[in-house]
Amino acid sequence: MKYKRILLKLSGESLMGAKQFGIDNDKITSYAKQIKELHATGVEIAIVIGGGNIFRGVQAEQGGMDRTHGDYMGMLATMINSMALQAALEAIQVETRLQSAIEMKEICEPFVRRKAVRHLEKGRVVIFGAGTGNPFFTTDSAASLRAIEINAEVILKGTRVDGIYTADPEKDKTATKYSHITFDEVYSKGLNVMDLTAFTLCKENNLPIIVFDMDTPGTLYKVLTEEHIGTIVQN
């Protein structure tokens, strides 16, 4: 394996599958099976999931709601997704721990860095919910922050496309894919990988990002076992 400890970032929207909102059971089961396949190799896996399939703070602000209030609602949405993924993983016998940046002692542990690392060392999958626990920060920022805190070697960003392209491949059929690209090139070309705060955290801490297609079963395993799967961003 290329990496021993990874952080997997999933978008909330990806959990919708073919639905307009909410969680598609087939999609979350597919993700859980992919995670189990990788986990069986001994790779230590931490996960951060967005909440956009349920609620987004930015959308609430556009509707006149206070942004801070909306962002906290978005954090709760990430917890629903995190609990759903935890249930899907445990249904297929993958031991999992859920930690939240906002204390919810009845359903999960509070985020404690040393405890999270210990869970990983014991072979448990750790899911980090509720973002950073602060408004105005995305779950991309949470993923970058948690990855750095637990000394993950890479962030794997699962998307609907198989890497970073010169343009949106769903809109521009002439777009070509990068296999490798530097952080500075992403900046200069204005490519959309993560929000700027998250991206800068990764650049400054020399943490590579691999963008890949999570929707094709088996790809998560291939990212760590084969060359040239997805796009790698590094210094």
Q: pLDDT for 34-61, tens place per residue?
A: 999 999 999 999 999 999 999 877 777 7
Query: Going along the chain, which residue ranges are E strands?
Result: 5-10, 44-49, 96-100, 109-110, 125-129, 154-159, 164-165, 177-178, 180-182, 209-213, 231-234
The CB density around residue 77, as the number of other CB atoms within 10 Å, is 24
pTM assigned to the model? 0.95
CA distance linking residue 17 with residue 28, whole number of Å: 9
pLDDT tens digit string along 213-234?
999 999 999 999 887 789 999 9
Of 62 and 7, the structure prediction assigns the larger pLDDT to 7
The dihedral built from the CA positions of residue 117, 118, 120 and 125, taken in this order, carries a sign that is negative
| Per-residue pLDDT band at 28 (split at 50, 70, 90) | very high
Question: Can you give the residue ranges of every domain in the chain?
Answer: 5-234
Sheet strand arrangement including 5-10:
109-110, 96-100, 125-129, 44-49, 5-10, 154-159, 209-213, 231-234, 180-182
The pLDDT score that the predictor gives to residue 227 is: 76
* C-beta separation of 151 from 5 below 8 A: yes
Distances in whole angstroms, Cα of residue 140 to Cα of each of 16, 71, 76, 101: 18, 14, 16, 14
CA distance linking residue 103 with residue 89, whole number of Å: 22
Residue in 209, 188, 228, 189 with CA at minimum distance from that of residue 140: 209
Please name the CATH architecture into which domain 5-234 falls. Answer: 3-Layer(aba) Sandwich (3.40)
Average pLDDT of the chain is: 93
